[in-house]
Amino acid sequence: MTQNESHRASPVFHQDGQHHPYHIVEPFLARQQSYGAAMGAHQPSPAHTVLGSHIEHPQPLRPNPAPANPARETDPNKAADRIRLSLVWDATTLNVWLDLNAHGEAFYKAFQQQATKQRKDILDRATMTILLKKDKSIPDEEAYALSLDEDDLDADWETTLEWLDANKRDKSPHICGVVEMDDG
């Protein structure tokens, strides 16, 4: 096959989606390039020029699909980033999710939502403590005391996460607890 036959046999796809024989498109491209040069436009980069019997494009004709999901969403250990707390407050049991990657305030908001939904109480967080336990049969004196006071919760959050990680059960509820109110 000669070079001219090769040009005629090579299809070129145009923006309209139609394919055109190379010998029809080549004069058009040459006019466009010379017009751009006459108007003071920069010379086309090698990726835009005609090379041999085909045209190269600066971007692929079919863009690569975006990744399906970020690694965090496809991580099989994602469930390990949250633990379930079963907290007893008087006669009410509150089941609260705790995100191990979130701040203490996010936990308090989840706790507050469950408490107001089930108990209809107005919470005074400065007087509230949760006694966290690996198992509900552990005496209160051996529990980890988590103050819900805003400053205390923030200051102790890293230590709380370490305790939770060391003491969580494999099955839900991962941690048990008792909610206590300080009377004054």
Residue 80 has pLDDT above 70, yes or no: no
Residue 103 has pLDDT above 90, yes or no: yes
Rounded to whole angstroms, the Cα distance separating 102 from 108 reads 11
CATH node for 78-181:
3.10.20.90
Q: What is the pLDDT of residue 16?
A: 57
Q: What is the pLDDT of residue 183?
A: 73
What pTM was computed for the model? Answer: 0.57
Query: Could you tell me which of 94, 92, 75 has the C-alpha nearest to residue 84?
Result: 94
Taking a C-beta distance cutoff of 8 angstroms, is the pair 79, 170 a contact?
no
Q: Where are the domains of the chain?
A: 3-55, 78-181
The chain-wide mean pLDDT, for the chain, equals: 76
Q: What is the pLDDT of residue 1?
A: 52
Q: Which two tokens stand for residue 150?
A: 């805003």
Rounded to whole angstroms, the Cα distance separating 23 from 8 reads 6
pLDDT tens by residue, 110-167: 999 999 999 887 789 999 999 999 998 999 999 999 999 999 999 999 999 999 999 9
